[in-house]
Each structure stands twice: as C-alpha cells, then as structure tokens.
Amino acid sequence: MKLIDGKTISDKIKSNLVDEVKKLKASGITPGLAVLLVGDDPASHTYVKMKESSCEKTGIYSIVHKMPSDISQEKIIETIEMMNKNPNIDGILVQLPLPKHIDTDLILQTIDPKKDVDGFHPYNVGKLTLGLDGFVPCTPLGVMEMLKEYDINPKGLDVCVVGASNIVGKPMHDLLLNEFATVDICHIFTKDLKEHTKRADMVIVGVGKPNLITDDMIKDGAIVIDIGINKLDSGKLVGDVDFENVSKKCSFITPVPGGVGPMTIAMLLKNTVKAANQRKTDD
C-alpha cells in the first residue's frame, strides 16, 4: 500500500505558484481573489482563514466580504456585481453553504464565468462536460492532480464515484470520463453500494459519512481516494473510508487529514492565477 501525500503535492504546487505570481507582478498584474462569507458558521470561517493565509503566502491579493446571516439576497448580488466589474479581482468565491433564505444557484450564476474560480457557474460546468478548457471545481481537480503526481492513469480503469453532488461527484465523473475511465456514479439511493465498489479499480468517495467504505467493499489492489471529512465526538478527523482496514487491501490510498484536503486550496490558488493570466492575455 502506498500513501498518497496531498500535503506534499500541495506544497509543491504552491511553491510553483509563488514563482508564477512574481512573473505576473513583474508584468503589472497582481492576482486578486475576493471571498464572500455570509453568516457565522465556524467551519466556513476556518476555511476562509486558511484560504486567506494561503493567498498571502503565495503573493495573491485577497479580500473577504463578511456579511451577516440575515443579509438580503439583493445585497449579495449587488456585491458580486461590484466585484465582477473590479479589474483588480480575478477570482470570486462564495463560501458555501449560504443561509436558507438565499438562492444559492442564483448567487453562483451571478459570478462572471471568467472569475468563477470555484468552477460552479453553469458556463464552466458545461465546458467541463464537453471537455473544453474552463474552471473546474477545486476538490475534483485536486484529485486529478494527485493521480497525475503518482503516475496513476485513469484511462481504461473502472472507477466508482460515491457521491453525486454538484461540487464533487458530478465534476469528478466528468473529469474521469474525459480521461477515458469507465465511470460508475453512486449516491444515497443506490440499491447495493457494495456491488458497485467491489468491482472497481478505483473508488472515490465524498459523502460525509464515517466508515462508509469498509474493507469488504474494496477489491485487492484497488486505488482509494477519500474526499470525506468528518469530526467524531472525540474531536478526531476521519474520512468516509475505514482507513485502518481498507489500507491493508489497496494499492494506493489517501489519508484524512493530509490527503485531498490540502489539494482543494492549492487548486483554488491555481485557478486564481489562471484567471490572472487570462486577464493579462485579454489586456
């Protein structure tokens, strides 16, 4: 079994981005990322602080618009439209989840597709489906980077993706399909999950349920990518995979924490620098 070290790969990507940002600054462009943070969800605030810190270390200008949980939808849209017009902002990120009175789809569709560094705008979703260059959601993009780093080629592999969210499962499916993997996607209504995972060469799971994937659900030598992150009552962070037992059967596996998590922020930075390079080309 080989451990896929997301932290090391992430650090390598960030190091490369530092050099790229310096070149952009030398040409008169400072990559800029704006984050909208609505409400007081502790996890959201933690994620945003991590993103701020990563931007600072990479040389990316970042600004956080903090808004109260009872803010109107119109005010959020107004703020996004202001950032759409700001030439110094290359990427706009809306920290999810949003309060229930807000139409998340409408908010995400308000973002200029050229600044949609999270890859959630229907324009970029369509580009991904068609295999065209655009912005790809950071977590699944990070998984693909990890596979590349470890010389794991999805072409021809039977891959089971567990979870069908717009943020992870669906874009993961499209990325793998674009690399000519045979992709089986499962979700909460799948009748017999084990039947699907057991025959897969690679299992990618991200649903937020501890120990969902057990060793009897994985075939010998499979590749296991655990995107899930769950906090137990003890305070311990675990994924969706029974790591201790599954790791004894697979060829590659990602740990939690230290696996896919660090890659998500690295890809956000990479997408922001990509947007800045596109601004340079447009100018």
CA distance 56 to 225: 29
Q: Tokens at residue 68, please?
A: 């109260």
Residues catalogued as catalytic = 51, 95, 118
pLDDT at 42: 87
Phi/psi region, residue 28 (left: phi>0; alpha: psi -120 to 50; beta: rest), is: left
Q: What is the pLDDT of residues 144-172, one digit of tens each?
A: 999 999 999 999 999 999 999 999 999 99
CA 120 to chain centre: 10
CA angle 266, 269, 271 (to 5 degrees): 110
What end-to-end distance do the CA atoms of the chain give, in Å?
A: 49
pTM of the predicted protein model? 0.95
pLDDT at 52: 94
CA distance 280 to 234: 49
Q: Which long-range contacts (CB under 8 A, 24 or more apart) does 21-27 make?
A: 21/58, 21/59, 21/60, 21/273, 22/59, 24/273, 24/276, 24/277, 24/280, 25/59, 27/280
Name which of 88, 92, 87 is nearest 118 in CA terms: 92
Could you write out the DSSP letters of every residue in 226-257?
E---EE-TTS-EE-SB-HHHHTTT-SEE--SS
Q: Tokens at residue 245, please?
A: 């037992």
Report whether CATH 3.40.50.1000 matches the domain 138-261. no
CA distance 164 to 138: 16
Question: Do 29-113 and 138-261 agree at the fold level?
Answer: yes
Q: Tokens at residue 269, please?
A: 């930075």
What are the residue ranges of helices labelled H in the chain?
6-26, 42-58, 73-85, 104-110, 122-130, 138-149, 169-178, 193-197, 243-246, 260-282
Over the range 252-272, which residues count as b (16 or more CB within 10 Å of their CB) and which as e? bbbbbebbbbbbbbbbbbbbb
Q: Which CATH architecture has domain 29-113?
A: 3-Layer(aba) Sandwich (3.40)
Q: Are strands 223-226 and 252-253 parallel, antiparallel or unpaired?
A: parallel
Residue 112: other Cβ atoms inside 10 A: 17
279 pLDDT higher than 90: no
Mean pLDDT, the chain, whole residue set: 96
Q: Radius of gyration over alpha carbons of the chain, in Å?
A: 19
pLDDT at 137: 98
141, 10 Cβ separation under 8 angstroms: no
Q: Please state the domain extents for the chain.
A: 29-113, 138-261
Q: What is the pLDDT of residues 205-228, one digit of tens each?
A: 999 999 999 999 999 999 999 999
5, 146 Cβ separation under 8 angstroms: no
Q: What is the pLDDT of residues 102-128, one digit of tens each?
A: 999 999 999 999 999 999 999 999 999
Q: What is the pLDDT of residues 38-57, one digit of tens each?
A: 998 888 988 999 999 999 99
Q: What is the pLDDT of residues 14-39, one digit of tens each?
A: 999 999 999 999 999 999 999 999 99
283 pLDDT higher than 70: no
